[in-house]
Structure 1
Amino acid sequence: MRKKRFTLLSFVTAFMLLLGGCFSGETESKPDSSDSEKSGEEEKSDEKKVLHLNNSEEPGSLHPGTAEGTHDSWVLEHVFEGLTKKTPEGEIVAGMAKDWEVSDDGLTWTFHLEDDVKWSNGDPVTAEDFEYAWKYALNPETASEYAYQLYYLAGGEEYNSSENKDEYAELEEKVGVKAKDEKTLEVTLAEPTLYFLDLTSFYTYYPVNKKVQEENPDWALEADGYVSNGAFKLTEWEHKDSIKLEKNENYYDKDKIHLDEVNFVMIDNEDTAWQMYQADELDLVYPVPQDVQGELASSNDPELEIARDLSVYYYNLNTEVKPFNNIKVRKALSMAIDRKAIVEHVAQGGQPPAYGVVPPGIPDVEGDYQENSGALFKEDVEEAKKLLKEGLAEEGMDQMPKFTLTYNTNEGHKKIAEAAQEMWRKNLDIEVTLENVEFQVKLDREKAGDYDISRGGWVGDYVDPMTFLGLWVTGGSHNDPNWSNSEYDKNLKIARTSMDPKERMEAMHKAEEILISEMPVIPVYFYTMPFTLKPHVKGVFTPTNRYPQFIYADIEN
C-alpha cells in the first residue's frame, strides 16, 4: 500500500531473513574450513542456485491425501508428481507413467510406470503406491476434504460415504484402482470421464510411499522423515515461518532441474512481502499489494506478470442462517455490488467482473464456455432494494439484521470486503461487520456453518466447468453455503456421465443458470494472477489452473 506498514512479527521475520542471507537469486557456496583457498573453477562448482518466494499462509497439510488449499498445493506440486504432469503450455504429458491405454468404452485405463522412478529416500515408486494413496484418501477415517475427486473411480463414493466400519475392508477392495504388478496400474471408472487424464495430474491423485505411511503415519507433519517423488524434496519446515525445498537427486528428470534450493517464507502481509521483494530478499511475490499492481501495470513495469487464471472470487452465503435462507435477500446483496468499481479501483489486476461462476478459458463445444454463458444476472440497486424488502417481509423481519462478513487475513481481501461493506451500506442501508481470521480457521468455520457471509475463492482443479459447478452439489464437501437444488444436481449428473460433449455442456449451462437464479454464492470477479518476478529468474511458467511453477526455473548470475 502507499504507506509501508509492518506488524512487529513481520518486521522480525524480515529482519531474521536479512540476517540469514536471504537475498534475491543468491548463489551460496559451502566453504571448506580445511581448504579455504580454492581455485575459481572449484568455487564455481560449489555455487548454489536458490529461489526465494513467499507463501501467504502456513500449509494446512503437505500430505496429498489431506491437502485442500492453494497454500498446500503450491508446495505439493513441486515435491510430488502424479501419473501425468502439465507442460508450460498446459498440455498433459507423461509423469510417473510413461504411457497408458484406455478401453473403447472409456471405463478402464491402464497406466505403465517409468522404470527408473524413485522416492526421495531411494525406494522405487510402484503402482501399489498409487493404489494405496487413492484408497487412503477415500478411507472415511482419513476425513479427506478432497476425497470426492476420487469418486470418478468405480466404488469410490460408496467407500468414502460408508459409516459402517465393518464394511470398510470389503468396500475398499471394490474401489476401481488395482496394482496389477509393480509397474502397471489399472483404473476402472464409475462412468466415462472425458477429463480423467487431467485429473491424474492433480495432487489428490499423487502417490504416497506405502511403506513410509505404514511405518510412520505422521511422516507428512515435519520435514524430518518427509518422503516425496517430485523434482524437489522437503528438507526444512519451520512452521508458520519458512519451508526449504532442495533438488531431489533421485528424480528421474533431474538433469532438467536447475535450482538447488527453493525457500518459501510464510508472510500473510502483502506489504511486507513487497518490501522484501524491493530489498532483493524475494525473487517472486504473489500476491502483490493491489495498489502496487495498479502502479506497476500503469507503468508497464517488466517485472509485473499478469498471467491468466482459472479461478473465481466470490462470497458464500450461509443459507441455514436467516435471512440468507431467502433467495430474494441473497439476490439483493449480489445486485447491490458494483463489480466494475471493485476490479478497477480495488483489485487493480485486470480482473474481469463475474456475472457467473465459471471463468473464461474453458472450451465449450464451440468457443469459450464463459463467453457463451454471458452475464447471468445484472447489477440493479433499485431492484435490489425491492427484493430485499420483499425477502425480509417473507422472513417476518422489518429490517436487515447486522451481520458479519468473514475473510482470511490478507490486505487485498480486506480492501474488497471494505468496498462491499460500503456498497451495502450506501445502496441498501445495511450494517456489516468485517472479521478477518487465518485461512485454516476460515475453512474450519465454513465447514462448521459458523459464519454469515464468507469470502471464497476457487482455482479449477482441471479444465472443465465441472470443477466449479461441482462445488455446490447437494452434500458436497465444499458446498459451504449448504445449498441444495434437485434440478441442479440432476443436470450435473448428466454432465458427469454423458460422453456426448454437446449434451454435457448444455447440462452445465443449465446448472449454472439455476445456481445464479438462487444465488447461494455471490460472484465478484474472475481472478488473474499478477505476480512480480526478478529479471534474473528464467523459466517460471503458469499453467491455466496452477500457481507460478518453478520446476524448470533457472537463475542467471
Structure 2
Amino acid sequence: MNKYIRTSLAGLMTSTMITSAAFAAGTHPDTGEALADDQTFIYRLLDEHSSVDPQVVEDTYGAEIARDLFEGLMNQDEEGNLIPGVATGFTTNDTKDVYTFTLRDEAKWSNGEPVTAGDFVYAWKRAVDPALSSPYAWFMELMSIENASEIIAGDKPIDDLGVKAIDDKTLEVTLTAPLPYFAQMTTHSTTFPAPQKVIEEFGDAWTKPENIVSNGAYIWTEHLPQERSVRERNEMYWDNENTILDKVVALVINDENVALTRYLAGELDRTEVPAGQFPRLKQEHPDEAISFPRLCNYYYTFNVSDSGPEEFKDPKVRQALSLAVDRDIITQKVKAGGEPPAYTFVPEATAGFTVPAVEMASMDQAERDELAKELLAEAGYGPDNPLSFEMVYNTDEAHKKVAVALSQMWKQKLGVQVELANMEWKVFLEERGNQNFDLARGAWCGDYNEASTFLDLLQSDSGYNDGKYNNARVDELLAEAKTSDDPAPLYTEVERIIAQETPVIPIYHYAGVYMMDSDVGNWPVNNVEQNWYSRNLYKLAE
C-alpha cells in the first residue's frame, strides 16, 4: 500500500511541473484535450441537502458537496480504488487492529492553518458524542473503533475513543477487532476533519458560507436554501495546481421534467433522466444519455416496530406483497434506464459479493402471484377482509410512478387497498426515522464497497433500521462477518433470512441514468460508489 502511494505521489509531482504550461495553452495536462475558457460545472439536485457538516450530513447530495469542501484521510480514484487524501499512506500492526496514518505536510485549511491529526481526533470524537446526536454515529461503530459503541450509548466519555494524535502529522486508530476494509471507510464524510475553533465560535452556524473553514479542493461561497449553492476553488488546497474546474453550482429543481427541459436548453451540465425516458433520449442524444451500474438499492421497508401496523407483524403478509411486485415492469417500463430487478438487498455490483439463489428469483411472475394470494389468504385477508395500509415516499415524479405501479399491482392481484402519501425530503427522513409510517420508500448507496454496508441496515440497532426489524441470528451473522476471512457464506445466509422474513421489499438496484453534457470530462462511470470529486472533472472546449 505505502509503495503504491509513494509511486502515486511521484506521478502527481511530475504532473504538477507541467501543469502551468499546459493550462496556459488551454489544454488538459494529461490528455491534451482543449479546455473551455469557463470552467464551471452546473448540475441538478432533487432536494435541498441535509447539511454540509461532515459529522451531520446524512444524504447523498450533502455528501457530494462535503467531498468537495472537505478531504479525509483517503480518497477514491475514477475506478473506485483507494488513493491518498490528507494522508499519504498508512501502516498496520501485526494483528491489524491498530492503523497509523501519516498526514501530508502541505495540507491546509482554507484559512491557511495546517491540517493536523488533532483535527481528525476532534472530528471523530464529535461524531460519537451523544451531545451532537450525529445521524451517522452508528457508522463509527461499524468502523470498530475502540469504545465507540460505549461512548455513543453514554457509558464512557468521548476521550476514551480509540483515536489519538501521536504528533501533528501522525494519527493512530485502535480497533476492537481487525477490520479488512477499515481504510476504505475513511473515504466517508463522517470521518472528515473538522475545524474545532470555528465550530466553537459559530456553533450550528459554522457551515454558513461567511463562517465556514474547510480543507477540500473547494470553498463554500453561496447558499440559497431550496434554490442553489456554489462552491469555488480553494487556493489553499494542497493540490490546487492540478484542479481544473473553478466553480461548481448545484441547483435544486424538484421536478425532473423541468430539470430535463433546462438541461436541453443548455442551463445544466448534468441531470437525472426522468423515469421511462432513457430509451428515447438515448436515441435522440446518444453522446449525452448514459447509464451505468451503481452501488445502490431501491426498496420499501415495513414498519415492524411496536408502533407499526398489526398486519405487518405477520411475515406472510410481507412476503405476499413482495411476491406480487412485478419487478420487470418496474425496471423495463416504469424506469427503463438499465436498472436490474432486485430479489436480494445487496446489489450484484458489490465487490466480492455473489448474488445468492433465493426462491423468489427462480419463479416466474405467475408463480409468484399465485403464492402471494395463498399467503395473504392464510394470513386472513381477502375480499371480505381486504388488507389496507399507507405507503409514503419523498416527493419526486419517479418515486411517485413506482409507488403508483406497486399500489396498482397489489390492488389488481390481491385486492389490497393502498393510500399513497408524499413528503418533502427532510420531513420524510424525520417521519421515517421516527417510525411514523406503515410502508416507506427506502434507498441506500454504499458507504464503502462491501456487502455489509447494505446488510448492516437490517442489524437490530442500526441507526438506519427505520422499520426496526430485529432478528438475533442476523445480528449474530453480521457480527461474525466483520472478523471473518470469508464472509460470503454469512452474507448468503443473511440474504436468505431476509428473503424468508421480508422486512423489506427490494425493488431494483440502481443505475446512474444521466443526461451528461459531452463537454464534461472524466466523469467516473466506472466507480460504482459514484464518489465523484469536482477537482477531477473538467470542461472541454466546444
**TM above 0.5:** yes
Amino acid at match of 1:279: A
Does residue 312 (structure 1) correspond to residue 297 (structure 2)? The answer is yes
CA-CA distance at 1:465 after TM superposition = 0.6
Deviation per CA, 1:3-53: give whole Å up to 9, x if none: xxxxxxxxxxxxxxxxxxxxxxxxxxxxxxxxxxxxxx9xxx995421111
Indicate the SS of the match to 1:404: strand
| Match in the other structure for 2:150 | 158
Does residue 290 (structure 1) correspond to residue 275 (structure 2)? The answer is yes
- Output the CA distance in 1 between the equivalents of 2:225 and 2:236: 26
Stretches of structure 2 that go unaligned for 5 or more consecutive residues are 1-25, 27-34
| Match in the other structure for 1:19 | none
**Which of 319, 326, 345 is the equivalent residue of 1:331?**
319
Deviation per CA, 1:286-339: give whole Å up to 9, x if none: x21113213123557110121220011000111132201110000000001100
Does residue 105 (structure 1) correspond to residue 95 (structure 2)? The answer is yes
- Output the CA distance in 2 between the equivalents of 1:46 and 1:461: 33
Deviation per CA, 1:471-510: give whole Å up to 9, x if none: 0111211111111011111101100132x1x2x2211111
| Match in the other structure for 1:385 | 373
Does residue 134 (structure 1) correspond to residue 121 (structure 2)? The answer is no
Amino acid at match of 1:158: E
**Which of 61, 64, 70 is the equivalent residue of 1:74?**
64
Amino acid at match of 1:515: I
Amino acid at match of 1:550: S
| Aligned residue runs from structure 1 range 192-211, under 5 A | 192-211=178-197
| Match in the other structure for 1:361 | 349
| Match in the other structure for 2:263 | 277
- Output the CA distance in 2 between the equivalents of 1:113 and 1:375: 50
CA-CA distance at 1:374 after TM superposition = 5.9
CA-CA distance at 1:551 after TM superposition = 2.4
- Output the CA distance in 1 between the equivalents of 2:358 and 2:210: 51
| Match in the other structure for 2:507 | 524
Residues 79, 228 of structure 1: 8 Å contact kept:
yes
Does residue 89 (structure 1) correspond to residue 79 (structure 2)? The answer is yes
- Output the CA distance in 1 between the equivalents of 2:292 and 2:212: 32
Deviation per CA, 1:55-83: give whole Å up to 9, x if none: 11101111111111112112112211110
**Which of 292, 303, 328 is the equivalent residue of 2:288?**
303
- Output the CA distance in 2 between the equivalents of 1:533 and 1:475: 39
- Output the CA distance in 2 between the equivalents of 1:220 and 1:193: 34
Between 131-140 and 215-224, report the one with greater CA deviation: 215-224
Deviation per CA, 1:167-207: give whole Å up to 9, x if none: 65xx3222111011111100001111111010011111111
CA-CA distance at 1:548 after TM superposition = 4.8
Amino acid at match of 1:468: F
Between 406-415 and 547-556, report the one with greater CA deviation: 547-556
Residues 248, 534 of structure 2: 8 Å contact kept:
no
Residues 323, 360 of structure 2: 8 Å contact kept:
no
**Which of 407, 410, 424 is the equivalent residue of 1:438?**
424
CA-CA distance at 1:386 after TM superposition = 1.1
| Match in the other structure for 2:51 | 61
CA-CA distance at 1:540 after TM superposition = 1.9
Specify whether residues 397 and 445 from structure 1 end up closer, same or farther in structure 2 by C-alpha distance, changes over 3 A only: farther
Specify whether residues 219 and 114 from structure 1 end up closer, same or farther in structure 2 by C-alpha distance, changes over 3 A only: farther
Indicate the SS of the match to 2:48: coil
Amino acid at match of 1:336: A
Residues 519, 540 of structure 2: 8 Å contact kept:
yes
Q: Could you tell me the percent identity over the aligned residues?
A: 34
**Which of 338, 342, 348 is the equivalent residue of 1:350?**
338
Does residue 555 (structure 1) correspond to residue 536 (structure 2)? The answer is no
Residues 424, 430 of structure 1: 8 Å contact kept:
yes
Does residue 181 (structure 1) correspond to residue 162 (structure 2)? The answer is no
Deviation per CA, 1:95-127: give whole Å up to 9, x if none: 000121111101000001000101112121110
- Output the CA distance in 2 between the equivalents of 1:252 and 1:491: 43
Does residue 268 (structure 1) correspond to residue 254 (structure 2)? The answer is yes
| Match in the other structure for 2:454 | 468
CA-CA distance at 1:247 after TM superposition = 0.6
| Match in the other structure for 1:538 | 521
- Output the CA distance in 1 between the equivalents of 2:284 and 2:315: 44
- Output the CA distance in 1 between the equivalents of 2:213 and 2:500: 47
**Which of 233, 249, 257 is the equivalent residue of 1:247?**
233
CA-CA distance at 1:356 after TM superposition = 0.5
Amino acid at match of 2:89: D
| Match in the other structure for 1:122 | 112
Q: What is the TM-score with the length of structure 2 in the denominator? A: 0.89
Stretches of structure 1 that go unaligned for 5 or more consecutive residues are 1-40
Q: What is the TM-score with the length of structure 1 in the denominator? A: 0.86
CA-CA distance at 1:402 after TM superposition = 2.6
Residues 199, 462 of structure 1: 8 Å contact kept:
yes
- Output the CA distance in 1 between the equivalents of 2:298 and 2:171: 37
| Match in the other structure for 1:233 | 219
| Aligned residue runs from structure 1 range 365-514, under 5 A | 368-370=353-355, 372-373=356-357, 377=361, 378=363, 379=365, 380-392=368-380, 399-498=385-484, 500=485, 502=486, 504-514=487-497
Amino acid at match of 1:359: P
Indicate the SS of the match to 1:315: strand
CA-CA distance at 1:266 after TM superposition = 0.6
Residues 539, 552 of structure 1: 8 Å contact kept:
yes
Indicate the SS of the match to 1:192: coil
Amino acid at match of 1:140: P
Residues 392, 422 of structure 2: 8 Å contact kept:
yes
Residues 314, 521 of structure 1: 8 Å contact kept:
yes
Residues 231, 551 of structure 1: 8 Å contact kept:
yes
CA-CA distance at 1:375 after TM superposition = 6.1
Amino acid at match of 1:154: E
Indicate the SS of the match to 2:165: strand
Residues 97, 112 of structure 1: 8 Å contact kept:
yes
- Output the CA distance in 2 between the equivalents of 1:75 and 1:441: 21
Residues 524, 530 of structure 2: 8 Å contact kept:
no
- Output the CA distance in 2 between the equivalents of 1:89 and 1:48: 27
Q: How many residue pairs align between the two structures?
A: 498
CA-CA distance at 1:88 after TM superposition = 0.5
- Output the CA distance in 2 between the equivalents of 1:392 and 1:145: 39
Residues 358, 496 of structure 2: 8 Å contact kept:
no
Residues 62, 220 of structure 1: 8 Å contact kept:
no
Amino acid at match of 1:94: P
